[in-house]
Amino acid sequence: MAHLTTIILAAGEGTRMRSAKPKVLHAIGGLPMLGFAMRAAQMAGAERLGVVIGPGHDDVRRLVENENNAADVYVQEERRGTAHAVLMARPSLQDAEGVVIVLFGDTPFVTAETIARLARAVEDGAAVAVAGMRPPSPAGYGRLVTRDGKLVAIVEDKDASAEEKRITLCNGGLMAFDARHILPLLDAIGDDNAQGEFYLTDAVALANRRGLAVTAVEIGFAEVFGVNDRAQLAEAEARFQEARRKAAMLAGVTLVAPETVFFSHDTELAADVTVEPHVVFAPGVRAASGALIRAFSHLEGCALAEGAVVGPYARLRPGAEVGRKAKIGNFCEVKAAAIGEGAKVNHLSYIGDASIGAGANIGAGTITCNYDGFSKYRTEIGAGAFIGSNSSLVAPLAVGDGAYVGSGSVVTKDVPADALAVARGRQVEKPGWADAFRRRQGKK
């Protein structure tokens, strides 16, 4: 593909979202909508990327920088329409060569392939290429009026004649421009309309009047699904999840109850992973072949090796690494910890800021006491160690290979390899105490 510049319009305040957060920061599959548009542009081969944001949207600027620190950020101080917004990126447009694509930060399903198709239409001779789609009902959409294969006008629904209303090809919003023509066209767009705004779609009529080639490129309606309110955000999330579930199953992942499993945008599951019902994958999860995630587990920022088993009702937090054939039992939480091959963390345990050696056994109710209110400390448990149930391991602490910790212990000192550590009060029995206590209370 020739030189490609992409401008993404992302200045919306999110008024209809009823949110203090800018619209493009609302997430689908854990990724802000703007991130989808930026990644599609980059996958399509954009050499230069410009994002137009609203005033005071520093959090949007940070997202742009995190996604692509080479992207240019422009601020639209006044809301004067889509053409006005694109012109905020004038420095990028002045230097642009080849093709300029205009995308929107609130249409997260546009693909790199669609961007490439629009670009090819310009490379094939069009000065302007407009994405067209066929919605289930065209009512409310601008119609694309074509003649002899050329796009001659975009007519808004309210202005359309009876004949034009029968047109099913509608404006999808995305547009591509020959870089040589974009600034002359945009600079010629006026604001003589009821809203007093500069509309990007007016470039079609202007280009036709100047004898430039204008064409429509038909794409799928689902790609240009826009998000303007919370209901549409929920619909977009549902569309995303449905697509990810299907893709996972086609790639060899078993989803026992697909409709109950929720993926993140970057979830990576290898073939022969099995996921039971009601599992949530937050961002940053990888699972190798043969891993089993049992029901009602929540995973984030973690990695599962081959044959690892998690849950049911387990929570893996960022930094958790579960080794080959290791097991995390029900109602366990693991954070910033490496669980060695074949190790077992049984039910009702918390393992944080720790490493568990291969084959070690962590008894039920064990916790690593890793936080003193100010700092975090690590616990190191050696291979083959056995930690008895209901133990508290006060970090920083090391338990050597093959060591035993007696149940109910509060361990504050390192335990040598193959040693037994018991740290609990001696049992004391007072015969008759309970009977006397009840008598004093008037219960007997």
* Residue 427: per-residue pLDDT: 85
Answer whether residue 443 shows pLDDT above 80.
no
Answer whether residue 290 shows pLDDT above 60.
yes
* Residue 84: per-residue pLDDT: 95
* Residue 196: per-residue pLDDT: 81
pLDDT in tens, 149-173: 899 988 888 888 889 899 999 999 9
Confidence of residue 2 (pLDDT cuts 50, 70, 90): low
What is the residue-wise DSSP string for 251-284? TT-EESSGGG-B--TT-EE-TT-EE-SS-EE-SS
Contact, 298 vs 316, CB < 8 A? Answer: yes
| Residue whose pair of structure tokens reads 């520093």 in the numeric block | 58
* Residue 82: per-residue pLDDT: 92
Contact, 326 vs 310, CB < 8 A? Answer: no
Residue count of the chain: 444
Q: Is 186 helix (H, G, I), strand (E, B) or coil?
A: helix
DSSP 298: E
Answer whether residue 132 shows pLDDT above 60.
yes
Radius of gyration for the alpha carbons in the chain, expressed in angstroms and rounded: 30
Confidence of residue 371 (pLDDT cuts 50, 70, 90): very high
Q: What is the mean pLDDT of the chain?
A: 94
d(CA 151, CA 172): 13
* Residue 1: per-residue pLDDT: 56
Answer whether residue 127 shows pLDDT above 60.
yes
Contact, 228 vs 107, CB < 8 A? Answer: no
Which string of b and e fits 168-194 if b means at least 16 CB within 10 Å?
ebbbbbbbbbbbebbbebbeebeeeee
Distances (CA, A) of 41 to 31, 160, 163, 210: 15, 33, 36, 29
pLDDT in tens, 43-81: 999 999 999 999 999 999 999 999 999 999 999 998 888
What is the residue-wise DSSP string for 73-136? EEE--S---HHHHHHTTHHHHHH--SEEEEEETT-TT--HHHHHHHHHHHHTT-SEEEEEE--S
- Rounded to 5 degrees, φ, ψ at 101 are -110, 135
Residue type, 287: A
Predicted model pTM: 0.89
d(CA 361, CA 297): 21
pLDDT in tens, 178-233: 999 999 999 999 988 777 889 899 999 999 999 999 999 999 999 999 899 999 99
Give the rounded percent of residues in the chain with a pLDDT score beyond 70.
Answer: 99
Those residues with Cβ within 8 angstroms of residue 367's Cβ, 6 or more apart along the chain or in another chain: 349, 350, 351, 391, 392, 393
* Residue 15: per-residue pLDDT: 85
Answer whether residue 353 shows pLDDT above 80.
yes
Q: Is 398 helix (H, G, I), strand (E, B) or coil?
A: strand
Residue type, 396: P
Contact, 8 vs 105, CB < 8 A? Answer: yes
Domains annotated for the chain, with CATH where assigned, are 4-224 (3.90.550.10), 230-421 (2.160.10.10)
* Strand 254-255 versus strand 274-275 pairing type: parallel
DSSP 24: G
Q: Is 72 helix (H, G, I), strand (E, B) or coil?
A: strand
Confidence of residue 304 (pLDDT cuts 50, 70, 90): very high
pLDDT in tens, 416-435: 999 999 998 888 899 999 98
pLDDT in tens, 6-49: 999 999 888 889 999 999 999 999 999 999 999 999 999 999 99
Catalytically active residues are: 347
As given in the structure block, the two tokens for residue 187 are 């600079």
Q: Is 53 helix (H, G, I), strand (E, B) or coil?
A: strand
Whether omega for the bond prior to residue 22 falls within 30 degrees of 0, making it cis, is: no
Whether omega for the bond prior to residue 312 falls within 30 degrees of 0, making it cis, is: yes
